[in-house]
């Protein structure tokens, strides 16, 4: 072939080769194309067009697919203020299918609490979050103004919404709900207790309107409080974070407690009663921006009847260890199960994890039995995990403090959270939830 013909033919070969790169070997759950080609389009509008503070608005999102169809994908929507990098609201829409040349439409409700200028981020992901064909960091911008009137609160708020801080070690053997402590609260440590028995019934998504420390503004779920102590969950991706709303104070060694009752769910094996600590997961920045801050380690009492520990090494990748069977027929329905997850640094710098369970519904403080434990020495948990950044070992220990290799924010322990998966209508009920900073050398009960 002479040089002239080769020069004419080479661009065609290159074009065919690039098309093969685009379409061969792509995951079966979500077929991707180059976002630069305009194959995907995302647009959004706000209703009403002139929103006001303390009044609900709706983000109307359109995702257009001009290429191969999306199957079982995720559409993620997030809201930010132009004055801050902190995410104010997020909505995760799972199991989304958009056929080729079709448009998916989504309505996302949100109530702004203050005036200001806000913007919306949105994107499309595969079902495991590993692929992201398009992410628009500013789909639309809108201004929230004052209504000109003062909206009175429906009820008198609590005198304080900040969890109490102790000034001396507590000698009480039980917490404010009458649940036995395993370890005493450390001097000057933070104690947070759920505000679900404050006489105020409410249904919400996002942050609890009566408790700014309870941040459910993650995942995809709706939450109902009866005002008498019960907290009911509905939704596919419930994620409930407990953290300082000013994003200043981090958690240390903690004892996380909740009573949970399984009512209705899809039977996702790894779902259940799950607490995660030593994390910043999407708290000071979106998960996909700060992958090293998504790390955390938790304890699970699972729907399949097993218990284990799970170390997230880089969202959404994790490694589970120390799996044991505690319910041979799976977690029972309509039974109150007491759950405690304890995590603390030992004197040698290793991290001790303990899972405890009570099946008496808290009778006389509960009959707490240790069902699992492990020591993370920095080499034994996370083996084979995906590193959050090049050069960062997935097995490193998650110690207290603000120093952790790779942490983007310098606040790797700012959050603890509870989670589950694929819950039916009011399908998981909580009560008597608490998080306390503990002194691991001060045992509160005979264990």
* CB-CB contact of 73 with 126 (8 Å): yes
Tens of pLDDT, residue by residue over 206-229, are: 999 999 999 998 889 999 999 999
Name the least confident of 15-29, 54-68, 402-416: 15-29
Cα–Cα distance, 305 to 23 (Å, whole number): 41
Going by C-beta distance under 8 Å and a sequence separation of 6 or more, which residues neighbour residue 324? 306, 307, 308, 371, 372
- What CATH number belongs to 28-144? 2.60.40.10
Long-range contacts of 106-109 (CB under 8 A, 24+ apart): 106/60, 106/61, 106/62, 106/63, 106/75, 106/77, 107/58, 107/59, 107/60, 107/61, 108/58, 108/59, 108/61, 108/77, 109/56, 109/57, 109/58, 109/59, 109/205
Closest CA to 245 of 205, 198, 197, 212: 212
Give the residue-averaged pLDDT of 13-30.
38
User: In the CATH hierarchy, which fold is given to the domain comprising 183-443?
Assistant: Jelly Rolls (2.60.120)
Q: C-alpha distances in angstroms, 60 versus 43, 102, 107, 204?
A: 8, 16, 5, 19
Beta-bridged to residue 156, according to DSSP, are none
Give the residue-averaged pLDDT of 49-58.
86
* Sign of the Cα pseudo-torsion (275, 281, 283, 288, in order): negative
Residue 378, Ramachandran bin (φ over 0: left; ψ between -120 and 50: alpha; else beta): left
Taken as a whole, the chain contains a residue count of 447
* CB-CB contact of 315 with 218 (8 Å): no
Residue with tokens 């983007």: 408
The domain spans of the chain are 28-144, 183-443
Q: Is residue 303 pLDDT above 90, yes or no?
A: yes
What's the farthest any 2 CA atoms get from each other in the chain? 92
* CB-CB contact of 322 with 381 (8 Å): no
Tens of pLDDT, residue by residue over 122-162, are: 888 777 776 777 777 788 888 888 754 433 333 334 434 44
Going by C-beta distance under 8 Å and a sequence separation of 6 or more, which residues neighbour residue 40? 33, 63, 64, 65, 66, 67, 124, 133, 134
How do the residues of the chain divide into helix, strand and coil, expressed in percent and rounded to 5? 5, 45, 45
Cα torsion at 280, 284, 287, 289 (round to 10°)?
-130
| Mean pLDDT of the residues in the chain | 84
Please report, rounded to a whole number, the percentage of residues in the chain having pLDDT higher than 90.
58
């Amino acid at each position: 072939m002479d040089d002239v013909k080769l020069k004419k033919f080479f661009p065609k070969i290159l074009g065919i080769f690039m098309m093969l790169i685009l379409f061969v070997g792509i995951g079966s759950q979500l077929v991707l194309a180059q976002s630069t080609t305009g194959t995907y389009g995302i647009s959004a509008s706000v209703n009403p067009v002139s929103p006001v503070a303390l009044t609900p608005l709706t983000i109307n999102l359109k995702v257009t697919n001009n290429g191969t169809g999306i199957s079982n994908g995720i559409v993620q929507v997030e809201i930010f203020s132009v004055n801050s990098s902190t995410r104010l609201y997020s909505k995760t829409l799972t199991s989304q299918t958009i056929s080729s040349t079709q448009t998916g439409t989504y309505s996302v409700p949100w109530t702004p609490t203050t005036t200001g200028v806000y913007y919306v981020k949105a994107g499309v992901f595969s079902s495991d979050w590993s692929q992201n064909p398009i992410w628009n960091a500013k789909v639309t911008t809108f201004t929230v103004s004052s209504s000109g009137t003062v909206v009175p609160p429906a009820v008198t708020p609590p005198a304080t919404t900040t969890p109490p801080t102790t000034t001396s070690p507590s000698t009480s053997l039980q917490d404010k709900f009458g649940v036995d402590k395993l370890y005493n609260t450390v001097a000057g440590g933070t104690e947070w207790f759920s505000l679900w028995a404050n006489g105020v019934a409410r249904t919400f998504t996002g942050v609890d309107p009566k408790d700014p420390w309870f941040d459910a503004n993650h995942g995809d779920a709706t939450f109902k409080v009866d005002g008498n102590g019960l907290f009911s969950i509905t939704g596919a991706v419930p994620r409930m974070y407990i953290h300082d709303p000013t994003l200043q104070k981090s958690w240390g060694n903690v004892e996380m407690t909740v009573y949970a009752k399984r009512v209705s769910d899809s039977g996702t094996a790894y779902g259940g009663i799950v607490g995660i600590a030593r994390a910043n997961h999407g708290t000071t920045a979106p998960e996909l921006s700060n992958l090293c801050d998504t790390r955390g380690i938790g304890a699970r009492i699972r729907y399949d009847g097993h218990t284990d520990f799970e170390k997230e090494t880089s969202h959404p990748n994790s490694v589970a260890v120390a799996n044991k069977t505690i319910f041979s027929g799976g977690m029972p329905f309509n039974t109150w199960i007491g759950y405690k997850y304890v995590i603390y640094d030992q004197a040698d710098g290793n991290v001790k994890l303990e899972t405890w369970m009570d099946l008496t519904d808290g009778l006389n403080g509960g009959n707490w039995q240790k069902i699992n434990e492990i020591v993370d020495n920095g080499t034994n948990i996370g083996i084979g995990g995906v590193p959050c950044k090049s050069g960062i070992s997935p097995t490193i220990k998650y110690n207290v403090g603000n120093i952790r290799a790779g942490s983007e924010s310098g606040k790797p322990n700012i959050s603890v959270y509870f989670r589950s998966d694929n819950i039916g209508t009011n399908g998981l009920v909580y009560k008597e939830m608490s998080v306390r900073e503990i002194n691991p050398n001060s045992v509160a009960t005979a264990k």
